[in-house]
A and B are shown apart, each in its own frame.
Chain A
Amino acid sequence: MMRTTRILIVAAIAIVTAAGTARSAVEDIELPDMDWSWEGPLGTFDRAQLQRGLQGFTEICLACHGLRLVAYRNLQALGYDEEEVKAYAANFEVQDGPDENGEMYMREAIPSDRFVSPYPNEQAARAANNGAYPPDLSVMTKARKGGADYVYALLIGYEEPPEGFEPMAGMNYNKYFPGKQIAMPQPLFPDAVEYADGTPATVEQIAADVTAFLAWAAEPELEERKSLGIKVLAFLGLFTIMLVALKRRVWADVKKH
């Protein structure tokens, strides 16, 4: 029994180490370690923060970045009611058609539409941005090493380049971006948005709020996943204890003789 336990422990360590090495493949940049509300097994999103994040995203990011995998109707998860979502969607124009004359036409977006991207295609985006392509942000917090911490760091990572570092023409110094220079100009400034709930709009505050919103956009199932997970683990734990009791009882007579 001891031997088995030992072997199992060694095997478990081996797997965890192997998985760990797989993750550390690329050199790590020291990111600020933020205390996000949705971290941990019981973490949930802060609705007020998500709403502020949507505001920041709409007024700043959406000028260049899309969110094409998220539908307006999904915004109800942020605590808005149906009417508010309808009103929000109505701010955007979406191409529809063809109509009975075979013509494509523009109409107001409705809740079932996905977020309208700022550019019709990649070429248009590049043409408007000096050749750079502002990526879609739908799954951004899952698509970068460091996740939400990285997105936050990037948003606050703009500063004067150090002595002797000369960014290329049209590029901006950002200490958290791989290669330290990024095409995106500094997007956030103090009081760039005026929060409806009166929260002071510092750069850090807007960055954290927008990051929270993007984390929700990337993992809208997170809260349901964690709450179901707790129930599943509680059940499995109890069930396994019962199985251990059953097994001991069944095996009791084998050990004796």
Chain B
Amino acid sequence: MATRTEFKNPLVRWVDERLPVFTYMDHEYNRFPMPKNLNYLWSFGALASIVLVVMIVTGVMLAMQYTAHVDFAFESVERIMRDVNYGWLLRYLHMNGGSMFFIVVYIHVFRGLYYGSYKAPRELLWMLGVIILLLMMATAFMGYVLPWGQMSFWAATVITNLFSAIPWIGDAIVTWLWGGFAVDNPTLNRFYALHYLFPFLIFAVVGLHVVAVHITGSNNPTGVEVQSPRDTVTFHPYFTTKDSVGLGVFLIFFAAVVFFAPNMFGEPDNYIKADPLNTPPHIVPEWYFLPYYAILRAVPDNFIGSWIGFVLVDAKLAGVIAMFGSILVLLLVPWLDTSKVRSARYRPIYKWFFWILVVDCIVLGWVGANPPEGKFIAIGRLATAYYFAHFLILMPLLGKFERPLPLPASISEPVLKGAASQMEKA
């Protein structure tokens, strides 16, 4: 923080001289220079932080009514839906807010991959983002267990059992996670405690993520660094208004789901109370975990899924490593990508591989939603292999062999050109 801002209001000045929060806000959210060519994909970071706040607020209010006990959890959620004032709204906002969070964050991540936002000097910014994603996944998983429906219970059983794949100490770890010898009341209680704790950890890492982006500044669609004040506009009013438009459109989508299709993303089975003696025919996770579920099951001789009974013992470490590896590989992306050029806009070959990766992730999701039989086994393995090949083979090689298009001299150059050609047309 360079210099303190001078404030007219004496009270504000008094506080600011002792604790420069107003100067900080002024620097970081008022005068902060932003590349002027950012498109709406750059709104998704702000959207994600807003969804996080919505989740924390609705979550705290739900926690005031929820009972974390295997005999009452399902009923207490239904009581929230039926007897608490606007309880159905709180619950549907929170339940669908999870899906919204992942939609927004996945777009945010793919935007980063497309425009090379992970490259120097933004490596730590990117890695903090990957950590946020991991924390989100843990939080969402534990939250899904709380209503104590059939999918809650069996998802908890399948996922916690993954840890039994760890050699030597696996079984002991699973017992320790459960707080017993099966998913039961102690498991529900600790998941509730952690589900309440983790969002605040996310909040803290988001804080670091924001600090980091304010050090390096935002990347932009050209991938060319800001060179002069001519390339930038101030955060306020330019991006406060632009992000507000993005927020408005997003809220329309969010509200449409919450009010008119609140169970669209959910599994009907989760409206059946958990029954440890009755395994559902198909255990599927929430949609945002389907690609990882496909990767988990892609490793040969590892069929976790349809027939839990005997598989758990057989679960091979490789599948678990592949699943966690699919996220952890993202941490290495800043070094796996050897290209000097950031934005896919100027990378004619990478651009195509980017879209193939997007399709590959959708295919993985589709495979994850289906039982591991017949063609799904082969497709799942192929798509998994491609996923890792994209990061571990294609990314390093493309940087060496691809011939990037000429980069603009600065952000202003293509903007000026665009404006000039538009004026000619007019």
Contact = CB atoms under 8 A, between A and B. Distances in A.
A145 B281 CA distance: 13
A13 B259 CA distance: 21
Contact of A239 (B81, B89, B221, B248): B248
B287 A229 contact: no
A250 B237 CA distance: 7
Interface of A is mostly: helix
A229 B259 contact: yes
Contacts of B355: 10
Given A142-B268, A243-B244, A14 B259 contact: no
Contacts, number: 134
Given A19-B265, A225-B88, A251 B241 contact: yes
A23 B114 CA distance: 29
B362 A17 contact: yes
Nearest to A22: B287
Interface stretch (A85-93, A97-105, A186-194, A230-238): A230-238
Contacts of B75: 69
Contact of A221 (B41, B88, B272, B362): B88
Given A69-B82, A220-B82, A226-B259, A25 B369 contact: yes
Interface in A1-50: 1, 3-4, 7-8, 10-11, 14-15, 17-19, 21-26, 41
A49 B264 CA distance: 26
B42 to A, nearest CB: 9
A233 B272 CA distance: 31
A218 B75 CA distance: 13
A138 B78 contact: yes
Interface string A218-257: 1011000110111011001101100110110011001111
Given A22-B290, A250-B238, A254-B233, A240 B252 contact: yes
Given A26-B282, A243-B241, A19 B264 contact: yes
B40 A4 contact: yes
Interface size class on chain B is 35 or more
A236 B249 CA distance: 8
A240 B255 contact: no
Interface string A128-147: 00000001001100111101
Can you list the 10 inter-chain pairs with the closest CB atoms, starting with the nearest? A229-B259, A240-B248, A143-B271, A4-B39, A21-B366, A22-B287, A247-B241, A221-B88, A142-B271, A18-B365
21 contacts: A3-B39, A3-B345, A4-B40, A7-B41, A19-B265, A21-B366, A22-B287, A22-B290, A25-B282, A135-B272, A142-B271, A143-B268, A147-B268, A218-B271, A225-B88, A225-B89, A225-B259, A232-B259, A233-B252, A233-B255, A244-B248
Interface of B: 36, 39-41, 75, 78, 81-82, 88-89, 92, 103, 106-107, 110, 114, 221, 233, 237-238, 241-242, 244-245, 247-249, 251-252, 255-256, 258-260, 262-265, 268-269, 271-272, 281-282, 284, 286-287, 290, 345, 355, 358, 362, 365-366, 369-371, 419
Given A218-B271, A244-B245, 12 more contacts: A19-B287, A22-B286, A23-B369, A26-B282, A144-B268, A220-B82, A225-B89, A228-B89, A236-B251, A243-B245, A247-B245, A254-B233
